[in-house]
Structure 1
Amino acid sequence: MPLPIKVGFVGLSTIGWAATTLAPSLFQPSLQDKYKLVAVSTTSQESAEASAKKHAAQLGHTIKAYYGSTSQIAADPEVDLVVVSVKPWSQKAAVLPVIEQKKNFFLEWPVGRSLQETIEIAEAVHKYGVRSIVGLQGRQSPVVKKVKHLVNSGAIGAIRSTVWTGLIPREPHFFPPLVAAENKFTLDGANGVTTLRLVAGPQLDPFTFTLGCFNTVNATAATLYPTATILDRDGNPTGETLPAVTPDHYTISGILDSGAIATIIWRTAYSSTPGRRHLLWEIEGEEGSIRIESDTSSYLNIDNPMVFLNGEKVDFAGADGNVLDILVSAWEAYAAGEESAYTTIDDAAKVHRFLDAVERSLEEGKTIVL
């Protein structure tokens, strides 16, 4: 694909993840010759024009404003790549017109509300022969790259077992027991925004990218916080309470392709008290061990935890980086055509198939063979 890649951005308002993190990652100095924002599209004329004006002033060139159906921005002959960052329940409707226009696209995780929607998007991708990149940037993390190198180099011998323990903290007020009023959509199961899909899912990709896929899965779950207290913008209770619709604790176990036994534990809603570990990922080999840990974040797609090899801290390039560095690495891989180095719609479908198996295991109370 000729450079720069001309980008049309769907869902780029003046606030939120797209505005504060995803889009700025495209505007980093190292990508100036590789990407150029040429158009934006939102749900209303007012917001589209405000976004176009803001980013035109920031970038120093004219940006077109579209609103309504994404077929309009996709039909723009100047647009090479359409970046779609909208709520999960709007993702399929937003991206399918883009694919039908045979435009390459980026789609933010969770890539639809369910496995079925992800599969529908994947089928369209293969039908129209377009390239895809999805918001599973964990494998671009310097931590993941280093740990994968250590595993593949035989630094700890044959992998025998691994345990991942992650935390979704209370403070963002995204899930029970305390939920901000603007996040109430997480309490509607039909929206596809659960702790399993939205948070655990993105971390599964770097896990399996490093150690291989699961052959079997057996899951248990519990709801320790059955109700949500709704908070206003100042963090005060509004007086409204709503029921939780999905579990807040999961234990997922199984056997990997290598024969190693793996366990993933997710805890939700604990406060980030001093000393509470957000991430502890231990990989046990025949000849040693690797430990990845953080007291600030469980998310390998936005943070760089510490890495220890046989108890000794490992220094590596990019260890002091941040979420923008990780996103930039994904954009660089896409621009270079290095498909194995970034995640695609097929990777997203694989993650969702595994999450579906987790839910089946919970419903049927048995081990699921994948």
Structure 2
Amino acid sequence: MREWAEFDLQEGEGGPVLVVTGPLTVSSIAPLDYRLREIDSLHAIDISGATNIDTVGAWVVMRASRTLDARIDGPSNKARRLLDTVETCSSSADITPPRLNLAERVTSSVGERMFGWARGVVGVVDFLGATMLALGSVIRHPRRFPMTALVRQFELVGVSALGIIGLMSFLIGIVIAQQGAVQLAQFGAEIYTINLTGRLAFRELGVLMTAIMVAGRSGSAFAAQIGTMKLTEEVDAMRVIGVSPMERLILPRILAAVLMMIPLGFFASVLAIVGGAFIANFALDIPFFTFLQRIREVVPLTDVWVGTIKAPVFGLIVALAGCYQGMQVSGNAEEVGKRTTMAVVQAIFAVIVLDAFFAIFFTEIGWG
């Protein structure tokens, strides 16, 4: 059973005296420490009855002595040595760690982030090169290609996502048509809502929103799955038995994302147009099938090609971000969540930036 330091507050000749008995050690000093913090005035601290004392006990007594301007009575030889040591080592010097000024802190933080960004770009390029080497290797040795894993990823990336992507695209088509009609009505040009919905769906929003959804769904899954395998040393075990993680884990996921983004993007565009036709039937009195027939007349084939060209590039970015961040996991389970978040954020950011470049590029070549 633990023995605590005991105390008794008595009246002495010069004022109140705190009589301490029992051990003054780190494991027993807590009650005394709390009591000393509550006392406002004290003449002396009598520790002649202390059975044992360590550095923590000596420090607590010395601090109370200084704070309350009280003398220390009855210390044993051991207690006196500890009290003298604590008093000698105590210092009123400022112990606040040095801190850089605001300009230096900002400059340092920006520099660290820039170098981190540069290292990340180099790492992704290196990862892409390793993926290309793995693809070349399986092309030379087709029997090593993990076809079963690829088909499984087709299902996870594509087929399983049809429902949520279709619903999202349908609702986005409704929003585009409804808001476009409201604005165009000010100029008596509601009929051009069909042009707006069709071109936006095929050129931009269909494939862009699909890429964002795939990044949140599949990109995060890639990072979490591969990251967990890294933590459990399954990736290292694959290397030990002579199986390439790039061929078995990375390549099927990247190929599935790249190839499935094309039908997914087209599917999303079609559902967005269907959503626009649905709301136009009620809000603009444009018959549903008339809306769809008009789409064929006002949307040029180049818009379909623009979306088709963007789709595999966006899929590559999403899959690369997810797989790369998954392979960077190390240390603990917290790293899995961190890398998964980074994969989604980086993929969405890169997709949006690249979409802006695509918009400028296609405009310059006359596909605007």
Normalising by structure 1, report the TM-score. 0.23
Higher strand content, 1 or 2: 1
More helix per residue: 2
Larger radius of gyration: 2
Q: TM-score, normalised by structure 2?
A: 0.23
